Amino acid sequence: MSLQILLSSYNGEKYIRFQLNSLLAQTYQDFKVLIRDDGSLDKTREILEEYAQRDSRITWYGLKNLGVVESFFDLIKHADLSCDYFAFADQDDEWLPEKLEKAIKVLQAKGFAEPMLYCSDKIIVDEKLRPLAVQVTRDIRKLSFGNALVQGICTGCTAVWNRKLMEVIAGHMPKRIEYVVMHDWWLYMAASCLGAVYYDDHAYIRYRQHQNNKVGAMITKRQLFFYRMKQLKKPRGEIYRQVKEFVMAFEREIPAKNKDLAIELLKAEKSFLSRIKIFSNKEIFRQKADDDLIFRIIVLIGKL
């Protein structure tokens, strides 16, 4: 079973060797790596060429800076759809040797009949790969499209998915990528809407936290509190825009029940009566009880 790893790099000279070495050290070896460099100004491209010369499974291309979301969508456009599986990778993490093997065993056991996404927990570490004390736990109680509408629980660097899901994603690219909050959130929406999602609460990746993280993990309750306060002050509407874009991209394929759920959420953007309905709708939810309550309150006051 062949697998293609899709990695987006940007000014990653400090850590990318660690990541590439961990990819090459996987117990599952039937893979190749496609890297898109997003306009690096440091020595990242030199390092990529070094590794490409060393191992024929690694190829890369460098284009202008698009930002992390559009860069990963561009990788999807260039992916080899003949592969059986696909995985996202960031430039600054370190994969444990069994990461791919564990994911593929799960996906193989689930079969090939439907689009299938695997994702997992992660070990949060500092710049020197030392585990950090994490106060904010991740509670996964139910995976569903109703959850995916308002919360992205799939961390892209843990994601592995089958060809069926890749064909779905590649065939229904968003027309306005700027409306997509994150590429991995879009992946979770597609899988939960049209197929299935498996979340592994074991961790097979060291997720490095440093000052240049584009998107980092919330590890303390204080961080989470100030993040929520900051989000309330921002202009709202990004979730509504993403859902609209998803409905447009998959309009003919969305099961009627899921489409109705998405439309119900979209009505809440302009209707107070619809916001009341969403407040009491248990099919649309966030995973943690306190997050879910906050979500319902911000919907009700028009701040989603």
pLDDT of residue 102: 97
d(CA 51, CA 33): 11
Q: Are 161 and 110 in contact (CB under 8 A)?
A: no
Q: Exposed (0-12), middle (13-18) or buried (19+): which is 146, by Cβ within 10 Å? A: buried
pLDDT of residue 122: 94
> 211 by DSSP, 3-state: which?
coil
Q: Which of 65, 41, 43, 50 is nearest to 20 (CA)?
A: 50
Is it the case that residue 152 has pLDDT exceeding 90?
yes
Question: What would the pLDDT profile of 116-151 be if each residue is shown by its tens digit?
Answer: 999 999 999 999 889 887 766 778 989 999 999 999
Q: Give the pTM.
A: 0.92
Where do the domains of the chain lie? 3-208, 221-300
Q: Are 115 and 191 in contact (CB under 8 A)?
A: yes
Sheet holding 3-9, edge to edge: 58-63, 31-38, 3-9, 85-89, 160-162, 116-125, 196-208, 94-95
Of the two residues 34 and 295, the one the predictor is more confident about is: 34
CATH of 3-208, one of 2.60.40.3470, 3.90.550.10, 1.10.150.530, 3.40.190.10: 3.90.550.10
Q: Checking DSSP bridges between strand 31-38 and strand 58-63, what pairing results, if any?
A: parallel
Q: What is the mean pLDDT of residues 186-212?
A: 92
Is it the case that residue 41 has pLDDT exceeding 90?
yes
Q: Exposed (0-12), middle (13-18) or buried (19+): which is 283, by Cβ within 10 Å? A: middle
Q: Which two tokens stand for residue 129?
A: 């790969």
Tell me the pLDDT of the chain averaged across its residues: 92
Is it the case that residue 218 has pLDDT exceeding 80?
no
Of the two residues 226 and 74, the one the predictor is more confident about is: 74
pLDDT of residue 221: 60
Q: Express as a percent the part of the chain with pLDDT over 90.
A: 79
Secondary-structure percent of the chain, ordered helix, strand, coil, rounded to 5: 45, 20, 40
Question: What would the pLDDT profile of 268-282 be if each residue is shown by its tens digit?
Answer: 999 999 999 999 999
Q: Are 76 and 64 in contact (CB under 8 A)?
A: no
> 63 by DSSP, 3-state: which?
strand
Q: Checking DSSP bridges between strand 94-95 and strand 196-208, what pairing results, if any?
A: antiparallel
Q: Express as a percent the part of the chain with pLDDT over 70.
A: 90
pLDDT of residue 17: 97
